Amino acid sequence: MFIYAMFQQYFPYELRGHAHKYTQKLVTYFYPYIQITFHELTGEKLKRSDAYFAIQNYLADHTTATAKRLKADVVKGSKSLVLTMDDHEQVMEEFQGIKIWWSSNESSKQKHSYSGKDKVYKLTFNRKHRDLVTGTYLKHVVDEGNAISQQHRQRKLYANGSKKSYTGSSTASWSHIVFKHPASFDTLAIDPARKREIMDDLLAFSKSEEYYARIGKAWKRGYLLYGPPGTGKTTMIAAIANFLSYDIYDLELTAVKDNSDLRKLLIEISSKAVVVIEDIDCSLEITGQRKKKKKAKKKTTKKGESEEEKEDETESSSKVTLSGLLNIIDGIWSASGGERVIIFTTNHVEKLDEALIRKGRMDKHIELSYCDFEGFKVLAKNYLSIETHPLFEVVRGLLEKTKVSPADVAESLMQKAVEEDADICLNRLIRDLESKSAKEGEQSKEA
């Protein structure tokens, strides 16, 4: 301490700096170890590092048996505690015969308006193993950490909106909740052969990263789901997300200010995502089609304001154009992320611009129509736990001549009381189908 005090007092600041620099070089020359630091927060916006998150998952899975100090946390939706390395703890593991040390630390982080603690993982190893650690080992850690994340993570349902920036202006953003939907392809009321076709297509897409890179296309797939209301379009979306274990991004175009905000939202969408625009025919009324509606007849309100003027005020809140939408689907911006399924839904496919739904943009067109007998059998199994019944043939005959949605059939089959059995539910469905068939017959006579 005395020598250090003398050094501080009698050595000029400039000389102290040079002495410190050369001392560090001398220590580094004889010190045989290399350290790599992984910060939790990175970049200008101090976002959480993907590498840090993968390492955290890996260490939680591999080092809890050897670490002397652990911290426990409860993950929402999990029934057990999750154990991870405590702060300022160090563990050692072996990889292909070499020893590697991991430690968990904190460092001060001050940037712009943020000031706080930044968590850090430090990796220490002998410098003669540099190539093995920086190449094979780190890839192994990140890959396994990401795989663990996929197994245990909670999938999310995102919705777009806007938030105030530090300048006071509004900017587009995503908010999310935990996605828990029980839909699966097993419960979808559609023909089993069509289910298998869709599932095979999705599975092939999810495993085709190298193929898409080889043919020079963005790793995305477009689905157009169309058909009358109640035919299962939304349920199909949930089943697709569950089948692929992807997050869902529900994009509401009417809440997007302009094409620039649309691009910002696109950039923030992660990989392994289902991007959904429901009722696309209604969403596009804020762009090209709204101009046609302006020519509709005016109605004067009590205040003397025309309905057209009211429409102008509404229209000005969103300036997303058809070309802007096409650019994020199939243009240069579509390559900003990979492994995305883009889904449009509509009740009126005939209203959509051909440019929007052509092959290459919407690769697969799936019509979800009225309930047929195959769909009914799936619903009967789901709701009544039966695969055959004497009344099935009666139902088959009624479905062949009646237009009814799977949602209406499901409502009739649902048990309304504990004592209701399959006979009661099937007879209710038959009555509902007969009533609907009679109404359709009367309407056709009047026409």
- Domains in the chain: boundaries: 32-152, 157-367, 373-446
CA 423 to chain centroid: 42
Nearest one of 169, 144, 167 to 61, comparing CA atoms: 144
Sequence-ordered list of residues with C-beta below 8 angstroms from that of 312, at least 6 positions apart, any chain: 294
Residue 307, CA distances (Å) to 259, 285, 288, 316, 319 in order: 27, 16, 19, 15, 20
Looking at residue 314, its pLDDT comes to: 45
pTM here?
A: 0.71
What residues in the chain have per-residue pLDDT under 50? 77, 111-115, 286-291, 295, 297-302, 306-316
CA distance 340 to 72: 34
CA distance 414 to 318: 41
CA distance 365 to 343: 10
* Token digits of residue 34: 């290399």
CA distance 109 to 107: 6
CA 426 to chain centroid: 38
Question: How do residues 218-274 score in pLDDT, each as one tens digit?
Answer: 999 999 999 999 999 999 999 999 999 999 999 999 889 888 899 989 988 988 999
CA distance 436 to 429: 10
**Fold that domain 157-367 belongs to in CATH:** Rossmann fold (3.40.50)
Looking at residue 12, its pLDDT comes to: 64
Looking at residue 101, its pLDDT comes to: 95
